[in-house]
Amino acid sequence: MRRALGILTVVAWATLPLGSAAYAQRLLPTLLVGLVFAVLAVVGFRFVEGRGRALALGYTAVQLGLGFELFSLSGAAVGSVLLLVVLVAQSALLLPLPVAAVVAAVIPLVHLGMEWGAGLREGLGTLAVTTFTLVVTELLVREQRARAELAEANERLRGYAAQAEQLATTQERNRVARDIHDGLGHHLTVVQMLLQAARAVIRTADVERLDGMLAKAQDQSREALAEVRRSVSALREPRPAPLVDALRALTREAGVPTGLEVRGEARVMRAEVEESLFRAAQEGLTNVRKHAEASAASVVLDFGRDDLVRLEVRDDGRGLPEHPGTGFGLLGLRERLADLGGRVSVDPGPGSGVALTVEVPG
């Protein structure tokens, strides 16, 4: 738009010598004043733009005075009117719309020196031109501003999309890490204990007992491999067995005598809730086996509340360590439950041991 105004300024100055059929023209002063107006319109406008309202008002006032003088010297030449129209467009770019509207309303006053009827006719025509110029310029300014805002909004959206993608990637990595820890870690712990027990009896000649331990270790290895495939492929396969049956099978593999108690009537829950409760029991029993030195443990699944499911893993071991670590298992469990609006707590058990409690809406 600014380039178009510059071209229009040069064309208007070039038409100044044509003058007007009704009025005499002083050619040399016309060209000199027109040249000053044109230079200011091309060079001065670029200097003034963006440098504050006071400088813009001064520029507009100087150009307005030069334009009126040029109109008189040129004998009301069409070129002088065109230069004043350029000033209207520039004022719309430099000044608030009400101030630019005043400039557009003042310019038709150049015709006051004419005969009454002709002056009124020419003035109304010039007013129509300046008003049209003001409206078109304002619309173009608003369109440019809207395009700039749209480009900025698109850039922000691209930034938000990148952040969302990064967040989704991080969440998926954390999910896979939790699944690997909760599933694979549990099975490998069982395999490790079975192999340790097998080594302890390998010299006793109790082949049947040894074979049973190795068979269980093989089963656990198979389960571990299935967990790895499941996590790497990032598939959310529904657990094939109901939660109560899965917990019952888990307690049989706990490594210490473990009982399962179900309070209330078991009900169908969302797959992610069942998965989180199973993983909580799995993590609790893995910690009992690895750290508690317990002789017995218990798992309680409580459906007593309609809006909440509670799971508790207790043991009679040595209790909480004096300086508890920050293992990934408990951290991953807290993250998993937080996504579902649940909570996790680890407290000393009644008398001895540890009680891991999980509550989740479901």
User: Which DSSP string do the residues of 190-212 spell out, in sequence order?
Assistant: HHHHHHHHHHHHTTTT-HHHHHH
351: burial class by Cβ within 10 Å (0-12, 13-18, 19+)?
A: exposed
Q: Report the pLDDT averaged over residues 77-86.
A: 87
Strand partners, 263: 302
Q: Is residue 359 a part of any domain in this protein?
A: yes
Q: Is residue 360 a part of any domain in this protein?
A: yes
- Which helix (H) or strand (E) segment holds residue 332: the answer is helix 328-339
CATH number of the domain where residue 360 is located: 3.30.565.10
Q: Which of 113, 144, 167 is the last residue of a domain?
A: 113
pLDDT of residue 235: 43
Phi, psi (rounded to 5 degrees) for 51: -110, 20
d(Cα 46, Cα 58) in Å, to the nearest integer?
A: 14
- Note whether 184 and 227 are within 8 A (CB): yes
Q: Is residue 177 a part of any domain in this protein?
A: no
pLDDT single digits (tens) 228-266: 665 554 444 555 668 899 899 889 888 789 999 999 998
Q: Report the pLDDT averaged over residues 104-116.
A: 84
Half-sphere exposure of 48 (CA within 13 A, CB side): 23
Q: Which pair of tokens denotes residue 86?
A: 């350029």
Q: Is residue 221 a part of any domain in this protein?
A: no
What letters, b where the CB count within 10 A reaches 16 and e where it falls short, cover 17-53?
eebbeeeebeeeebbebbebbbebbbebbeebeeeee
Provide the percentage of residues in the chain whose pLDDT is more than 70.
86
Reported pTM: 0.46
Range of the domain at 276: 239-362
d(Cα 100, Cα 218) in Å, to the nearest integer?
A: 87
pLDDT single digits (tens) 122-137: 889 888 988 998 898 8
- Note whether 100 and 134 are within 8 A (CB): yes
What's the domain count of the chain? 2
The full length of the chain comes to 362
Question: Which stretch, 65-74, 109-118, 222-231, has highest mean pLDDT?
Answer: 65-74
Q: Is residue 123 a part of any domain in this protein?
A: no
pLDDT single digits (tens) 269-328: 888 888 889 988 988 888 888 888 888 999 999 999 988 999 999 999 888 776 555 556
Q: Which of 113, 141, 158 is the last residue of a domain?
A: 113
Q: Is residue 137 a part of any domain in this protein?
A: no
Q: Which pair of tokens denotes residue 282?
A: 């799995």
Nearest by Cα to 136 from 182, 171, 100? 100
Q: Is residue 7 a part of any domain in this protein?
A: yes
What letters, b where the CB count within 10 A reaches 16 and e where it falls short, cover 273-287?
bbbbbbbbbbbbbbb
pLDDT of residue 61: 92
Collect contacts of 243-246 with beta carbons under 8 A, ≥24 apart.
243/269, 243/274, 243/277, 243/278, 243/301, 244/301, 246/278
CA 174 centroid distance within chain? 20
Mean pLDDT taken over the chain: 82
DSSP string for residues in 221-275: HHHHHHHHHHHHTT--PPPSS-HHHHHHHHHHTSSS-EEEEEES------HHHHH
pLDDT single digits (tens) 30-68: 889 989 999 998 888 888 888 888 998 998 999 899 989
Q: Is residue 145 a part of any domain in this protein?
A: no
- Note whether 124 and 78 are within 8 A (CB): no
What letters, b where the CB count within 10 A reaches 16 and e where it falls short, cover 70-84?
bbbbbbbbebbbbbb
Q: Which of 81, 113, 145 is the last residue of a domain?
A: 113
